[in-house]
Amino acid sequence: MKSPISIKMEKLKPYFPILTWGPNYQKEYLIRDFIAGFTVALTVVPQGLAYATLAKLPTEYGLYTSYISAIVYTFLGSSKDLAVGPQSLMSLLTAEYCTRPENWVALANASDVRSDPRLAILLCMCSGCIILFLGVFNLGGVVNFISHPVLVGFISAASIVIPFGLLERVFGISGLPSAFIPKMIELLKRIPSQTKTLDAVLGFVTLGTLLGLKHAKIRFSTVEKDDGKLKIIAKKLLWITATLRNAFVLFVTSAILLLSGKHCPFPDEIVAINATNASSLIEEPNLDCITPTSISAVTLPSPRLPDTNIQTIDGDTLGLMDMLSVLGSGIVIVPFVAILQSIGIGKSLAERGNYKVTARNDFFAVGVGGIASSIVSSMPVSGCFSRSSLNFESNAATQLGNIITAVVVLISALLFAENFRWIPTASLAAVIMAAVGSMFDLDAILEVIKLNKKDAVPMLTTFFLSVYDFRIGIVAGIVLHIGMLIYNQNSPSILVERSTETDVRITLEHGIAFPVCEDLLDKVNAEIEVEPVPIVVIVDLKNAYTADVAAARTLRKISQKCTEKDIRLKIINVNDLLKEMLSKLNVTIVEKGEDDGLEVKSLRRGSTHEAILEHGFQKKPLLQNGDLEGSQNFGSTTQIHFK
């Protein structure tokens, strides 16, 4: 007999996957998880710094985003490979939705960035709460309203706008407009006169190295059976270097910056110079230097709820509702994109690894992870494909690798954060450009166009509007595609066929509901008014899996019209909902017997017999024995065939 504790543990297992894999953990798993976790950590640290830059936040917020969600996923997540934390699309959306209004007083450490950390932290908590809510009430299906074509259009636009938008950092040019097209125009004007040559050289060399290592790993790192020992060692070294290429190039370029002494002044040095020499304010900018990263974190922030006390330059105080109004549609868009990516990545890797994941567990894990991360000043989190794939390639055994990743990130933040200032901004920009640029998928675009040209409309709409403004693009794409879906579902084409001059068959493409009812009634009226008048009208609802009150009333009107014209009406393949509504419209249902006579029977669910609606039997009423007068001519009756 199981103890009460065992019984409670069994009840908790569906909500805490660690209770399933934890008791079965083996010693040999530890080495695999340590290697995977450490490898991912060496990737997430530079990615976190880069993605914070992409989010227009101070660089240290990338570190804050990289550890708590990983710890939470260890306990609540169902995928051994999914890595949750900073991610490129989340950073992009954060930059779009968390822009600080001009009349807000900026935080001391964020006065030189466009996004407001307080908005990003609040967006992280809102995102987590919404994802958790969807998981608790099993409403995960709503995220599917962001369709595949819309995502393809959005990601394709991001993979173009982000890399080109970061060229300003590669060339070392600042003060450009935030909108993409004006930024590109202004950048082209300034490149000849304001380019920092060392930044440009370092940035493009870094980008070329990243792309080269990526393709070298694909082509040359696979060990073959006939490879010698030296070749195997070389290939493994190439695999390690290419896998950790982000950390590798940032380490090398940081060393170059540190040893060369060619760094541009750090922000604190600029303040000191300006305080002692006012004339420096009007000096020409130094173009013969490398721009370093600005980072101020040497300790982790204390856990606390998002700050909702905002001061304006006019002396007013704003609160939570004002902040939510600034975030706008991002409160919905960000969590939908986050969980859609996380579930998709988890399922994809589970299929490759031949194990199962539970979507609802991942809703809990990502939701709780977002809430917990916001308490330590994190921007929104999501599953990251590159780090998750790295987990898979490193042969992670369980979710414990996330703990290793979190520990390494914490050590980095506490001990080495101040040294991250030596990372060149051009190199960080190159890391983002290489990662985000690879998301462009021409095959996916062509596939959508090839399979269904109608779906290309929301895809292209999302793409072009996202180039202008990501917030407008993704919302417009979602609304347009949902609108097209609703229109198509409720405005089906109606096919009219005449097998003979007196037999008419009307078939609906799909659902019958109020938008199509008048059209259906007009079609029937048009057919029964022409000569020769049909003897039989068949309304085939085999594709009508939905129905409403208007549909039932319209079918009754059609029955009445046919009664007046003495036309036999057959309504076949009626779904259960419509069948029930018709029975409530004072319609007695008479079912056809096995002997081809007609006898009154009770309505049976799932019956495959034809049934007669008694409505309109003024001329030929039912007899008590169940037979109809003139069995060769059914007169004005309506037949229904139940599925």
**585-592 average pLDDT score:** 48
The answer to whether residues 235 and 380 belong to one domain is yes
Structure confidence by residue, pLDDT tens digits, 396-455: 999 999 999 999 999 988 888 788 888 898 998 898 888 888 888 889 899 999 998 999
Q: Does some domain include residue 467?
A: no
| Whether residue 516 sits in one domain with residue 427 | no
Whether residue 148 lies inside any domain: the answer is yes
Alpha carbon distance 237, 630 (integer Å) = 91
pLDDT of residue 247: 86
Give the residue, 307 or 298, on which the prediction is more confident. Answer: 307
pLDDT at 147 over 90: no
Cα–Cα dist 149/459, whole Å = 5
Q: Does 471 fall in a domain? A: no
Go through 387-420 and write b for each residue having 16 or more CB atoms within 10 A of its CB, e for each that does not. Answer: bbbbbbebebbbbbbbbbbbbbbbebbeeebeeb
Out of 231-235, 278-282, 294-298, 455-459, pick the least confident. 278-282
Q: In this structure, what CATH number is given to the domain that contains residue 565?
A: 3.30.750.24
Same domain, 413 and 516: no
Residues 320 and 176 in one domain: yes
Residues 308 and 445 reside in one and the same domain: yes
- Is it the case that residue 118 has pLDDT exceeding 90? yes
CA distance 468 to 620: 68
Residues 20 and 106 in one domain: yes
Q: What percent of the chain has pLDDT over 70?
A: 87
pLDDT, tens only, 265-295: 876 554 444 444 444 444 456 678 888 887 7
In a domain? residue 198:
yes
Average pLDDT, the chain: 82
- In this prediction, residue 269 carries a pLDDT of 58
Q: Is 228 a domain residue?
A: yes
Same domain, residue pair 347 and 423? yes
- pLDDT of res. 196: 92
Q: Which amino acid is at 276?
A: T
Q: Which of 18, 153, 134 is nearest to 463 (CA)?
A: 153
DSSP secondary structure string, 404-456? HHHHHHHHIIIIIGGGGGGSBHHHHHHHHHHHHHTT--HHHHHHHHHH-HHHH
Instruction: Say if residue 509 is in the same domain as residue 621.
Output: yes
**Beta-bridge partners for 539:** 506, 571
pLDDT at 178: 79
Q: Are 371 and 132 in contact (CB under 8 A)?
A: yes
pLDDT value for 499: 78
Q: What is the pLDDT of residue 112?
A: 81
For the chain, what percent of residues have pLDDT higher than 90? 36
User: Among residues 150, 121, 138, 76, which one has the least CA distance to residue 381?
Assistant: 121
* Residues 77 and 137 sit within 8 Å (Cβ to Cβ): no
Same domain, 426 and 558: no
> Does residue 481 fall inside a structural domain?
no
In a domain, 363, yes or no: yes
- Determine the structural domain holding residue 219 and report its residue range: 9-451
Decide: 133 and 390 in contact? Cβ < 8 Å.
no
The span from the CA of 584 to the CA of 444, in Å, is: 49
* Identity of the residue numbered 474: I
11-27 residue pLDDT tens: 888 889 999 899 899 98
The answer to whether residue 233 is domain-embedded is: yes
Instruction: Report, as an integer, the average pLDDT of 325-352.
Output: 90
Q: For residue range 593-641, what is the model confidence (pLDDT) as tens digits?
A: 333 333 333 333 333 333 444 333 333 333 333 343 333 343 334 444 3
Based on the fold, state whether residues 187 and 302 are members of the same structural domain. Answer: yes
**Count: domains in the chain:** 2
pLDDT of 68 strictly over 90? yes
Quick one: pLDDT at residue 394? Answer: 83
The verdict on pTM exceeding 0.85 is no
Tell me, yes or no, whether 501 and 366 share the same domain. Answer: no
Same domain membership, residue 250 and residue 137:
yes
pLDDT score at 586: 61
Final residue before a domain boundary, out of 421, 451, 481: 451
Residues 377-381 have a mean pLDDT of 95
Q: Is the pLDDT of residue 344 over 60?
A: yes
For residues 496 and 488, give the distance between their C-alpha atoms in angstroms, rounded to a whole number: 18
Q: How many CA atoms lie within 13 A of 345 on its CB side?
A: 27
Q: Which amino acid is at 398?
A: T
Six-digit token pair at 396? 């992670």
Instruction: Indicate the SS3 state at residue 232.
Output: helix
One-letter amino acid of 480? L
Residues 160-193 have pLDDT tens digits of 988 998 899 899 998 888 788 999 999 999 999 9
Q: What is the pLDDT of residue 280?
A: 44
Phi, psi of 229 (to 5 degrees): -60, -45
Alpha-carbon gap, residue 41 to 383, rounded angstroms: 14
> DSSP state, 642?
E
| Residue after which a domain boundary falls, among 426, 451, 476 | 451
Tokens 């008694």, residue located: 614
